[in-house]
Amino acid sequence: MGSACIKVTKYFLFLFNLIFFILGAVILGFGVWILADKSSFISVLQTSSSSLRMGAYVFIGVGAVTMLMGFLGCIGAVNEVRCLLGLYFAFLLLILIAQVTAGALFYF
C-alpha cells in the first residue's frame, strides 16, 4: 500500500506541475502577443504604449518563471531526481517569501 500511495502522489505532482507549465506557456504567449500587436490593445485599454509594454514584460517574466517551475516539478517528480525537486522546493520557498514581503510592503 505504501508504494501505491507514493506512485499516486508522484503522478498528482506531475499533473499539477503540467497544468502550471501549460498556464505559464499561456501567460508567456499572451505577453508576447501584447508586444507584437500593440495597436489593438492600446485602442481597447486606452492606455499609453509604455505602460502596455511594461505589462507585457511582466506577463513574459511571470510566464517564464511559471513554465520553469512547472518543468522542474514535472521532471523532478517523474524521474525522482532529488536535485530538481530540491531546486523546485527552493524556488517555491523564494516565491512564497517574495509574496509575503510584497503583501507586507503594500499593507504597511
Written in H, E and C, the secondary structure of 43-97 is HHHCCCHHHHHHHHHHHHHHHHHHHHHHHHHHHHHHHCCHHHHHHHHHHHHHHHH
Give percent above pLDDT 70 in the chain.
Answer: 91
* Mean pLDDT on 5-26: 92
Give the chain's mean pLDDT: 87
Cβ distance 93 to 81 under 8 Å? no
Domain locations in the chain as residue ranges: 2-107
76-90 average pLDDT score: 90
Contact 31, 52 (CB under 8 A): no
pLDDT tier, 43 (very low <50, low <70, confident <90, very high otherwise)? low
pLDDT for the residue 37:
83
pLDDT digits (tens, 9 = 90+) for 18-38: 999 999 999 999 999 988 886
Of the candidate ranges 4-8, 46-50, 88-92, 98-102, the one whose mean pLDDT is the lowest: 46-50
pLDDT at 14 over 80: yes
- Name the more confident of 23 and 43: 23
